[in-house]
Structure 1
Amino acid sequence: MLAALARVATRRPMTVIFAWLVLLVLGFGLGTGVFERLDDAVSSIPGSETEQAAERLDGLDPAGDSLTAVIVAPAVDDPALRSGVAAAVADLAAIPGVTQVPDPYTTPGLAAEDGEALLLPVGFDAALDDGAEEDAVATAADRIRELDGLADAEVQVSGDALLGDQIGERAQGDVARAEIISLPLVLLLLIVVFGGLRAAGLPLVVAVSGIAGAFLALFLFSLVTDVSVYAVQVTTMLGLGLAVDYALLLVVRYREERAAAGDGEDHLEAVRRTVVRAGRTVLFSGLTVAVSLAGLLVFPNPFLRSMGLAVAAVVAVDMLAAVTLLPALLARFGRRITPAPATTRSGREPGHLFARLARFSARRPLAVAVTVVAGLVVLAVPAAGTTIELGDARQLPTDTEARKLYDALAEHYPEGTGVRPVEVLAGPGTDPALLDRLPELPGVARAESRELPDGTLLVELTPTGSVDGPAATALVEQVRELRGAEPVEVTGNAAALVDFRAMLADRAPWAVATVLVSVFLLLFAFTGSLLIPLRTIATTLLSLGAALGVVTWVFQDGNLVWLIGAEEMGALSLTGPPLIIAISFGLAMDYELFILARMRETWLDTGDEREAVVAGLQRSGRVVSCAALLLAVVFAAFMTGGFSPILQIGLGLTLAVLIDASVVRMLLVPATMSLLGRRAWWSPAPLRRLHHRYGLHEEPRPAPPEKISLPG
């Protein structure tokens, strides 16, 4: 297959380039329409108690969307402001679809006790269709914002009806900012790596194509399912980074092939050999990343499933660009790219530093392995205490309107204002003694109840603390424990978090098993060894645990969080750990395959396991280090947006990449390979023959040594 792709790319390069140009236009034209279709819901679980109770409540007591405005002024009793607010309330009530606009001056609890703030909630008819509701919300928000500046008032408007749009707009701005920052830096680093603009520009072209493919893939997904607001940033950063990684690997290999062939050979043959030999590594690398994300499909949560599908689609686009677009670009413009030099400027072999690291680890394998493992375990310790929450507006950057509204509420109103209650649906016949106990449960700040049309009693328990903090989730668990066989259901944000945590605990073992078994099989197909996949999985889990531990230490515990412009959250966003674990695992496999490919080449050529370790790291170390640095730059650029879940994911992925590409791949891998010795490449004779006959190879090679003796 790779040979066929190489022939097409080298014989008709302009046709291939034109096809990708069409994709580029579609991606940045049609694909960017996904920003208008983003969904900010992440915790829903179809079939869960929370979802079923919410649907039942909506059927019994349908409620439309709402928005909330907070008006902050030196004195809200200023006659001019009172007159302006009264006129605004009258105008809002006249908007078709608006069902509720209380007077903030006469409704208890809407005017702050300090006399400096007013709350103005607006409710909308649940029967409105999407278009009419969107018009009504926009009209109401615009009318309220007209009060801004009146009597020195500052007005912030947000709420359920606007929050998704505000986050979507912010996501679009963050992506644009990250691209403006990262692309020039990536180009500069590539110029340093390759020493010239031509070779450096090719990975960037592939990367931009990967971004276009990411946008188009997400837009197509949005036509059939919800696409999370997080998906745009995560898939764009990953698509950009992996595209650079794969292109960097192929361009480096192309320069090596040119150097090995000499000046007399047509450069097109070097392109074909590059695709056939290194393209296999790219395909396996992409498969391992996709398989790592496939674990997310085990969860019934639509957000996790959609993220898994979206990232897998982006990885597929990057793989396809690397083995089709890049060879076409090399065929058309690669003649002027200089071959790899035989020596460095200091007269040494390329990669001599990585060869020294490999020899150092090989001479002291046990000491190096123990030291590195101990350090990674220490970094991973905080991960044992990781907790997750839905989070509140503190996750948003301080300059967003929803965050300003949250801060104004916190400054001018009592704690708990605006906190959504735990909703308890008690069906007819529920024991009155149980209902009497609900308001007295620990963690209840306020309790209200009302009867619904079918006789069901809705009890709203406002928790102390945040909407999904420890008090709120404990309250949900207490109600569910107390109800016994009574016809009682619990819903609300805190209940959604409890159900989400239960889902993770229930499905995580299956997700982990799916990923580990799949990766093990892929690595066996790649190497023909049974021990290398086990070693690879173990070392990768160490680097992943270390990255997650640092993220927990920073965001949950609040250590050094100010360095990245964030604040202590007391917990991680529920989107963070699953995505950090899945994506970090895939990226670590990415670099492992880069190194194993070169180790296996030397092993098949020489049968010398020590030389395979040294030569493999010498030939791949520079590519892995440069790729990790470039990927870290991309992730760091996406951390400039200030959105806490993206900051957590960005920091986690940056740390995972840097830790994995440095101490794990440069020290721990050669140390563990040296400890295993010839046993590293061992597999039972039937499996060895099976792999030699049916396994995927870069090119026909002799069979590996048949006898690998094991002690004992």
Structure 2
Amino acid sequence: MFESLGRAVAHHPRRALLAWLVITVLGFGLALFGVSGENLFDRLTTGEPSVPGSQSSTANGILRDASTSGASLTLAVQNVDPSTAGLGDALTSARSDLMAIGGVASVIDPLVLPGGAANPAAAPLIAQDKHGFLLVVELTPGLSSSAESTALRAVERRLDQVPADLRAVAPDATGQVGGATLIFDAITSQVEKDLLTGETIALPAALLVMIMVFGGFLAASMPMVGAIASIAGGLGALLGLSYVIDLDSSVVNVVTILGLGLSIDYGLLIVSRFREELHHLTDGDGGLAARRRRGDGAVVTALVRTMSTAGRTVTFSALTVAISIAGLLVFRPQILRAVSAAGVAVIVVAVATALTLVPAMLVLFGRRLVRPGLISRVPVLRTLLARTADVQSEEGIFSRLTGRVQRHPWWVMLGALALLGALAVPLTHLELRNSTTQLLPLGSDQRDYVQLLAREYPAATTAPVMVVAQTSLEAATTWAAQLGGLADVASVDPPSPTGSHVVIGVRPDATDPGGAVAERVVREVRALDAPFPVWVTGQAAGQLDFTASLMSRVPWAVAIVALATLVLLFLMTGSVVIPIKALLTNAISIAASLGVLVWVFQDAHLSGLLGFVSTGGIETYVLVLVIAFAFGLAMDYEVFLLSRIKELHDSGLSNDDAVRLGLQRSGRIITSAAAIIIVVFAGFVAGKLLVIKEVGFALAVAVLIDATVVRLLLVPATMTVLGRGNWWSPPFLRRLYARLAITH
């Protein structure tokens, strides 16, 4: 199959290029402009991750269905004493203008009440420090999406002008407009900015690394062209998926960085193997003689060989990554299912570019790829490239390193395991969070707005723990007295009817809505034997439900991914030992990277350097994504390495020689691919959205650990210790392997 694909591309390279040009233009065009004026970023959703059918999700659904209010925006006026003489009159024109906006149902501020700011009913709208007040504008419920959007924009513009209206009576007045729609816009806007920032940093850095690998711009540019096409195709695929499933705003960046990194990795492997095969066919002759022999078929032969070896490896590798990410479909939270579907779609695009677009360019440029590039003629760069550019020597830094490891395999293995274990220690005090506005960067207007409300207007904010009861107001009021007596409860809001239910706000004796105290309150409330059906929601409740849901499905996800990985690696190697060893080493490596993630983001050791404020934990779905993605990437490099070792072992080399030469031939590709994917992920760490920082940082660390400690030290050490035992399998499986083996 791969040989046939190679021949097809070799005979029609321009058709492949034209097809990808169309796909790229369409992908970017659809993602940025959409089908009917609604682009990909317009179709994103955001909010606290939830578990369908859980207590918190059910309660949120009841509250949402019972709501009779429309969208709203609030102006928090600061540096103003609400009792200032003439303040109410100064607000008159603003109230009139706001009510005149189509779709506005009400305008409320403390000064419209009888007695003004002195009215007890005005207390929730007055700052606790008595130097500010709230002006709330609510829209008519049931407005169309376009009418609501138009009204909100007009309301926001008018609210922004209110502080200027008050200058005569309150010269220091300032204001901050906020609301759910603005928070959503802030998050999706930041996603778009972070995506651009990440790509701006990642693509040039990746190009520089590949220039050092290939020794020239021409070969280095090919994986980059594939990466750009992958980004376009991936974004177009995400737009299509957004019509089938809800895509959270963080999904776009997460799967984009995965697709970007993988497409470069796969393109790197294809280009490198093509150059190697072409060198063998032309004896390294990249001069005039090579040009005269253009019709000898060397380019086509090299491409067919590349596709039958590296093309097969790329496909196999992508399959292992896709299986790892597809394991997320086992979980119930919609965000994980969305990442799974989107991730698999992007992986398919990345493989397609590596197997069609990159080979098409290889055919067109042919022998020029084995000639020294222009930059290699610069004396200083020539010396540097002699050490970094790909070479054909059977001996080098990787074979020498492996030789040293093989002389002391037990010490190296134990030392590597001790280092990974030490890095994993912070994982023992992991705390999980489901954050919302805390994910916004420092300095965000909406983050500042939410913090201002929590600090100065607690009575106007929703209680951190909400109890939805299916009973009468009288029965709920009687039962609410029990809530006030719980150990960690500071106060209980008066029960209020909502449709056929009653809502009771419970305020924990702590300010963190997702902290340990809030979680204890949720457990205490749920442990009460209420005489009627109750559901508890809020950030802490959502965290507990999300974590419980994950834990209930983890065994299934692990079993499915582990079994699929074992089968695929067995079909590739014919061994049952190597797949088991791969699973164990990858698990240890992932634990180490998660330990570093906890140490940095939960314990806030690098908060100043990376520019974030710790939420006191790691986002629940980030943990799952990092495990799935890191495992897939680890298997990616495992396949890169094992394919070469297996190839050499099948040719008759001993286990130790196959490991040593296999690492020499693949080590440069693995470390180069790792360096590229690290800079890709690091580029997204430069973004400002916390969840993207966490994912990018964790995966960069995971790849760094895997490509150095695991691939260069732990794997050769364990394979040396096991010796011929690496290739063992029972007789009945050997017979099965002979029939179903996936070989070059």
Q: TM-score range by the shorter chain?
A: over 0.9
2:151 — aligned with what?
A: 136
Question: How much does 1:439 deviate?
Answer: 2.3
Aligned pair count reads: 696
Checking the alignment, whether the CA contact within 8 Å between 1:256 and 1:340 is kept in structure 2 is no
Q: Distance in 2 between matches of 1:197 and 1:115?
A: 65
Gaps of 5+ in 1: 699-712
Question: Aligned letter for 1:381?
Answer: V
Contact 1:558 1:569 in 2 (8 A): no
Aligned partner of residue 162 in structure 2, secondary structure: coil
2:84 pairs with 1:69: no
Equivalences for residues 530-541 of structure 1 within 5 A = 530-541=576-587
Q: Structure 1 residues 450, 76: closer, same or farther in 2, change over 3 A? A: closer
CA separation in 2, counterparts of 1:77 and 1:334? 81
1:141 corresponds to which letter in structure 2?
E
Letter in 2 for 1:597: S
C-alpha root-mean-square deviation of aligned residues, in Å?
2.5
Residue of structure 1 equivalent to 2:402: 358
Say whether the 8 Å CA contact 2:465–2:506 is kept in structure 1. yes
8 A Cα contact 1:468 1:497, kept in partner: yes
- 2:339 matched to which residue of 1? 307
List aligned pairs for 1:317-396, cutoff 5 A: 317-338=349-370, 345=386, 349=393, 352-396=396-440
Does residue 252 of the first structure (1) align with residue 272 of the second (2)? yes
CA shift for structure 1 position 41: 2.7
Equivalent in 246, 253, 263 of residue 243 of structure 1: 263
Distance in 2, matches of 1:97 and 1:443, equals 43
Question: What per-residue deviation string (whole Å, max 9, x for no partner) do you get for residues 308-362 of structure 1?
Answer: 1101110110011101111111111233111699x99479936611111211111
Distance 2:550 2:92 in 1: 49
Note if 1:442 corresponds to 2:476: no
Report which stretch shifted further, 392-401 or 32-41.
392-401
Report the CA distance shift for 1:499/1:93 in structure 2 as closer, same or farther (over 3 A): farther
Partner of 2:721: 675
Q: Is the 8 A contact 1:351 1:621 kept in 2?
A: no
Given that 1:575 and 1:645 are in contact with CA atoms closer than 8 Å, whether structure 2 keeps it comes out as no
Amino acid at match of 2:220: A
Q: Which residue of the partner structure matches residue 177 of structure 2?
A: 157
Quick one: structure 1 residues 259 and 118, their matched pair in 2 at CA, closer, same or farther if it must change by over 3 Å? same
In the alignment, structure 1 residue 269 sits paired with structure 2 residue 313: no
Partner of 1:168: 188
How far apart, in 2, do the equivalents of 1:104 and 1:599 lie?
A: 76
1:97 and 1:128 in contact (8 A); partners too: yes
> Using the alignment, how far apart are the partners of 2:502 and 2:736 within structure 1?
66
Q: TM-score, normalised by structure 2?
A: 0.89
Q: What secondary structure does 2:74 align onto?
A: strand
SS at 1:144's partner residue? Answer: helix
**Which runs of structure 2 are paired with 1:655-670 in the superposition (5 Å)?**
655-670=701-716
> What displacement does 1:387 show?
1.4
Question: Structure 1: how far apart are the matches of 2:488 and 2:100?
Answer: 40
Note closer, same or farther for the CA distance 1:432–1:187 as it changes in structure 2 (3 Å cut).
Answer: closer
1:36 corresponds to 2:36: no
Query: d(CA) in 1 for partners of 2:273 and 2:687?
Result: 35
SS at match of 2:669: helix
Identify if the C-alpha distance between structure 1 residues 75 and 360 changes in structure 2 by more than 3 Å, giving closer, same or farther. farther
**Range with bigger deviation, 36-45 or 228-237:** 36-45
CA distance in 2, matches of 1:451, 1:114: 27
Aligned-partner SS, 1:402: helix
SS of the residue 2:243 aligns to: helix
Q: Distance in 2 between matches of 1:51 and 1:193?
A: 51
- Whole-Å Cα distance in 2 between the matches of residues 613 and 529 of structure 1? 15
Using the alignment, how far apart are the partners of 1:99 and 1:437 within structure 2? 38
Cα 1:244–1:102 shift into 2, 3 Å? same
SS in 2 for 1:538: helix
Which amino acid is the alignment partner of residue 201 of structure 2? I
On the 8 A contact 1:352/1:618 being kept in 2, the answer is yes
Aligned pairs (5 A) from 1:80-229: 85-105=91-111, 106=117, 107-147=122-162, 151=171, 153-229=173-249
Q: 1:461 to 1:578 in 2, by over 3 A?
A: same
Identity across the alignment (%): 39
Q: 1:523 to 1:417 in 2, by over 3 A?
A: farther
Query: Deviation digits for residues 595-618 of structure 1, max 9, x if unmatched?
Result: 111100100001410111001100
Alignment of 1:537-576 (within 5 A): 537-576=583-622
Deviation at 1:64, TM superposition (A): 3.2
Gap change, CA 1:350 and 1:160, over 3 Å in 2: farther
Q: Deviations over 1:511-568 (max 9, x none)?
A: 1111111111111122111000111111111111111111111111122322211122
Which residue of the partner structure matches residue 289 of structure 2? none
**Contact 2:190–2:688 at 8 Å: present in 1 too?**
no
- The worse-fitting range, judged by mean Cα deviation, of 142-151 and 21-30 is 142-151
Q: Deviation string for 1:52-106 (max 9, x for gaps)?
A: 2232333344343333333334777777976654433333334343344321453
Maintained 8 Å contact 2:79/2:172: yes
Contact (CA 8 Å) 1:61, 1:452: kept in 2 or not? no
- The equivalent position to 1:418 in structure 2, one of 444, 461, 465, is 461
**What is the CA–CA distance in structure 1 between the aligned matches of 2:86 and 2:653, rounded to whole Å?**
88
The AA in structure 2 aligned to 1:142 is R
Moved more, 299-308 or 394-403: 394-403
Structure 2 counterpart of 1:710: none
Q: What letter matches 1:31 in structure 2?
A: A
2:54 pairs, out of 38, 44, 48, with 48
Displacement after TM superposition at 1:651 (Å): 0.9
User: CA contact under 8 A between 1:422 and 1:461: conserved in structure 2?
Assistant: yes
Deviations 1:422-453 (A, max 9, x none): 22122237587633211232333332234537
Residues 83-131 of structure 1 show CA distances to partners (whole Å, capped at 9, x for unaligned) of 6544333333343433443214532133324454433333333322323
Q: After superposition, what is the alpha-carbon deviation per residue over 1:16-55, rounded to whole angstroms, capped at 9, x for unaligned?
A: 1111111101111102321111111352222222222232
Distance 1:578 1:567 in 2: 21
Q: Partner amino acid for 1:13?
A: P
Distance 1:596 1:86, change over 3 A: farther
**2:657 is matched with which residue: 608, 611, 635?**
611
Deviations along 1:246-304, one digit per CA (max 9) or x if unpaired, are 01111111111011112565212111111111011101111111111111101111110
User: Equivalent residue of 2:195, what SS?
Assistant: helix
> Which residue of structure 2 lines up, in the alignment, with residue 480 of structure 1?
526
Q: For residues 499 and 370 of structure 2, what CA distance do their matches in structure 1 show?
A: 79
| Mapped partners of 1:474, 1:90: distance in 2 | 47
Partner Cα distance (1:233, 1:670) in 2: 35
What residue in structure 2 maps to residue 295 of structure 1? 327
| Structure 2 Cα separation of the partners of residues 497 and 93 of structure 1 | 40
User: Is the Cα–Cα contact under 8 Å of residues 126 and 133 in structure 2 kept in the other structure?
Assistant: yes
Separation of aligned partners in 1, 2:396 and 2:274: 20
SS in 1 for 2:614: coil
Seen in structure 2, the aligned counterparts of structure 1 residues 72 and 454 have a Cα distance that, compared at 3 Å, is closer
Secondary structure of 1:490's partner? strand
Question: In structure 2, which of residues 317, 327, 330 is the aligned counterpart of residue 285 of structure 1?
Answer: 317
Q: Which amino acid aligns with 2:109?
A: D
In structure 2, give the amino acid aligned to 1:29.
G
| Residue of structure 2 in register with 1:316 after alignment | 348
